[in-house]
């Protein structure tokens, strides 16, 4: 029986790195841990793991947010299932966990973004999870600014 647990301690966060690294392979373990701990404090980021027989098989990271467009909603930042465990329903279980968390805490919707080349993933969100495609996400990398003297 699969169970979901929120990861709060540094040790728990570290235990999910091998799975999260499959999605966020640009991060080394130290940077990953630092970012999760900072986001937990500053952004109310929540990292949850799905365990199957005491082994993490999938993780999800999400944040409660408020914008004028969506009102009170949950943003799913990260969702990944271990590559050896995909197509077993673990992503669905984690998203359903977040949907329930959102309802329990009076958030009106759940939103996420997905890479433009992830057509199979898009099919999962739209057909299996009943998400609507409502926008494109655009990003711009800013050049490092020189620190100004104070």
All structural domains of the chain: 3-128 (3.40.630.30)
Tens of pLDDT along 63-86? 999 999 999 999 999 999 999 999
Tens of pLDDT along 81-114? 999 999 899 999 999 999 999 999 999 999 999 8
Distance CA 4, CA 29 (A): 22
Q: Which two tokens stand for residue 117?
A: 């080349």
Distance CA 94, CA 5 (A): 10
Confidence (pLDDT) at 149: 57
Q: What is the DSSP letter of 141?
A: P
Q: How confident is the model at residue 137 (pLDDT cuts 50, 70, 90)?
A: confident
Predicted structure pTM score: 0.89
Q: Which two tokens stand for residue 51?
A: 């365990």
- Residue 1 CB-half CA count within 13 A: 1
């Amino acid at each position: 029986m699969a169970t979901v647990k929120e990861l709060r301690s540094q040790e728990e966060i570290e235990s999910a790195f091998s799975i999260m690294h499959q999605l966020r392979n640009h991060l080394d373990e130290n940077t990953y841990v630092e970012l999760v701990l900072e986001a937990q404090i500053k952004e109310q980021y929540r990292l949850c793991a799905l365990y199957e027989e005491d082994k993490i098989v999938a993780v999800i990271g999400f944040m409660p947010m408020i914008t004028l467009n969506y009102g009170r909603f949950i943003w799913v930042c990260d969702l990944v299932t271990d590559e050896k465990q995909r197509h077993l329903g673990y992503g669905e279980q984690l998203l359903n966990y977040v949907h329930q968390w959102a309802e329990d805490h009076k958030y009106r919707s759940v939103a996420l973004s997905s890479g433009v080349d992830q057509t199979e993933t898009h099919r999962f969100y739209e057909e299996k999870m009943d998400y609507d495609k409502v926008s494109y996400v655009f990003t711009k990398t800013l050049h490092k600014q020189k620190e100004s003297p104070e």
